[in-house]
Amino acid sequence: MRRTSIIAGKLALAALCAAAAMGAGVARADDAPSSLVIMGRGSAGSTSDLAFTVMEEAIKRAFPGKSVQVRRLPGTASAVPPRIESGEAQIGHGVGESVVDAWNAQRTFANRPKMRNARYLGAYLGFLVRPSASPTMVVAADSPIKDWADLKDKRIAVGPRDSLTSTMVNVALKGVGLSYDAIKQNGGLVATGDWNQQMDMLGDGQVDAVFITADHPSPMITQFAATHAARLVSMNDSVLKALMDNYPTFSRNVLPAGVYEWQKNEVVGVQLSLGYVVHKDLPDNVVYQICKQLYWPENAKIWGEVVPSWKGAEKLADRAAQTVFIPLHPGAKRCFDEAKIPIKTIAAGSDTP
C-alpha cells in the first residue's frame, strides 16, 4: 500500500511538472494542478492542523474556478521529510530542526540518506501572532512540580513517539541532569501518544505532566483548564541552554502572564521555526500562486479569516521568509522578491542543493 502511494505521488508530481512546462509565468487557469497531497494533520487544534487548514484555503484561492483535489495525510513533524523526499506528499509541515536533521542525516535521521528534495515555502504567520514557549509543561495547579528537576521520578507524557516534542524534551532534561532513561530508573514513566488523550490522562491523574508544542492560548490547554485547575511550568536557564545548544533554529521566547486567565506568571521556553516545505519539483508557478495567497499584503488576511485566533497575522507578512532553514523554492523566491518581502537564511538555508 505504501509503495503504491509513493508511486502515485511521483506520477502526480510528473504531471504537475509537465503542465508547468507548457507555460509558467502569468497565472492561467490551466496552470492549476488537478490534485495535491499535503501533510500536516496533528492533534485537532494543533499548530500544524490549523496551518494546513489555511493551506487548503490558499490552494482554493490560488486557482479560482478550478477544482483542485487536496488529500491531507496525518503525521508528525518527523514523518514529513521522508514523505516529501519520496514524492508521496508535495507540501508538508516543516519544523525547522526536523527538516534540517533530515537534510543533514543527523539525530533522528542519522542512519538514513540525506533528504535533499524539500524546499522552503514560507513561515506560519499565524504561529507568529500568538505567544509561544515550547515545549510547554502543563501540570495540575496543586502539583508539587515547580521545576524541571522535579520530574526525576514523575510520570510524564511527551506527545507522539516520533514527534519533535518527544525528542526535545529528552534533550532539555539534560539541563537538569535527567533523561527519559533516568526517570524510568527512578520509578517514573514516559508516555507517548495523542496529545488530547494525554491531557485526559493528566485530568484523571494517570500522568503528572504533559508537554505540548503549540502557540498559545492552545485549544487543548484551554479545554483542559475548563474542567481542571492547571498551571504551566517555566524553564530554568540550564534547561534553556541545553535546548539552544542542540537546536540552532530555536530562539528564547517568553509567554507573558495572563495569556490564560488563570496563568499568573510568565513562562520561559523556546520558539520553533515553523513553515511550509514543498517538494523541489512542484512547479514554480504553482508554488508562486499559493505563496501569493499566503503572504502578499492584500491576501495575507487569509490567516485570520480561516483561523480567527490568528487575526492580524497579515501585519507580520514581512517575516514570512525570515527563517529559511533549507533552500528556498524558486516559486517562493519570486513571490517574495515581487512583494519586496526580505529573505533571511538560517541553518541549511544557504546550502547549494
Domains (ranges, CATH) in the chain? Answer: 2-130+273-339 (3.40.190.10), 136-271 (3.40.190.10)
The dihedral through the CA atoms of 311, 314, 318, 320 has a sign that is: positive
* Chain Cα centroid distance, residue 241: 22
Contact yes or no for 243/171 (Cβ under 8 A): yes
| pLDDT given for residue 163 in this prediction | 81
Looking at per-residue pLDDT, the higher value among 329 and 5 belongs to 329
Asked if the model's pLDDT at residue 181 lies above 70, the reply is: yes
| pLDDT tens per residue across span 291-332 | 999 999 999 999 999 999 899 999 999 999 999 999 999 999
Residue 21 has what pLDDT? 39
| pLDDT digits 0-9 by tens, 168-180 | 899 999 999 999 9
Say what the pLDDT of residue 249 is.
86
Distance CA 166, CA 259 (A): 24
- pTM for the model stands at 0.75
| CB 29 within 8 Å of CB 68 | no
Q: Is the pLDDT of residue 24 over 70?
A: no
Percentage of the chain lying above the pLDDT 90 cut:
73
For residue 31, what pLDDT is reported? Answer: 79
**Structure confidence at residue 13 as a pLDDT band (50, 70, 90):** low
Answer whether residue 29 shows pLDDT above 60.
Answer: no
pLDDT (mean) for 199-217: 94
Residue 274 has pLDDT above 50, yes or no: yes
Question: Cβ(109)–Cβ(77) under 8 Å?
Answer: no
pLDDT tens by residue, 158-168: 998 878 889 88
Residue 131 has pLDDT above 60, yes or no: yes
pLDDT confidence of residue 70: 96
